[in-house]
Amino acid sequence: DDCSQDPNSRKKDKDKTVLFAGSFNPAHNGHLAMVKYLSTRYKEVILVIGMNPNKTYQVSPSDRAVLLEKMVSASGISKSRVRVEVISGYIWRYAMAQNVEILFRGIRTWEKDGKDEQALHLLNTWGPVVYGPLKWPIKTIFIEGQPKYEALSSTLIRNRCSLVKRGNRRGITLSMHDFVPKDTIEEVIDAYCS
């Protein structure tokens, strides 16, 4: 956030639809903190789970979308300002069709996630120019997570859930309290323990 920007820009932001894309495989409290911030600043936040039809997922994109919707509700985020969509194809193309003004990408830190995000940013920037329709690219903003979530990742959660097979479900459940909303812990474990 640029503190020197025009004070009226926050009012202008309230009229914007923005898109926050991720695998949300699974979503976690770091993602949800970003969604909460965006939902207080913008008119509508579209959470997009991209789907590659040629890829097999442990948890399907549609199941992740249902889980993400439950997490949004459990986090106290206004559902009237947030919607979850699963799409196949280019995210920038979907964003243009939805009249999105800003694409957001969440990162833990630039050092941890920057290299991978740069490749996606190039696709979102040059995709509209190269593949059409010939339109100016949608602005992309990288939003860095809160420092307390820097070590949290979807991979960490999936790895914890896989330990349930070894028989310590209660311990895994207790360890997940800082990772995902309390009301969704059991669903996350059930989805990712296989």
Domains of the chain (ranges; CATH) run 10-149 (3.40.50.620)
Higher pLDDT pick, 63 / 139: 63
Percent share of the chain, pLDDT over 90: 52
Show the 3-state SS of the chain.
Answer: CCCCCCCCHHHHHCCCEEEEEECCCCCCHHHHHHHHHHHHHCCEEEEEEEECCCCCCCCCHHHHHHHHHHHHHHCCCCCCCEEEEEEECCHHHHHHHCCCCEEEEEECCHHHHHHHHHHHHHHHHHHHHHHCCCCCCCEEEEEECCHHHCCCCHHHHHHHHHHHHHCCHHHHHHHCCCCCCHHHHHHHHHHHCC
Predicted confidence (pLDDT) per residue in 128-150, tens digit: 555 666 566 788 888 888 999 98
Q: Facing residues of 83 across strands?
A: 46
Q: Tell me, what's the pLDDT at 3?
A: 43
Q: Tell me, what's the pLDDT at 167?
A: 74
The model carries a pTM of 0.82
Residue 65 has pLDDT above 60, yes or no: yes
Predicted confidence (pLDDT) per residue in 25-54, tens digit: 999 999 999 999 999 999 999 999 988 777
What average pLDDT does the structure give for the chain?
Answer: 84
Residue 66 has pLDDT above 70, yes or no: yes
Interval 81-91 mean pLDDT: 93
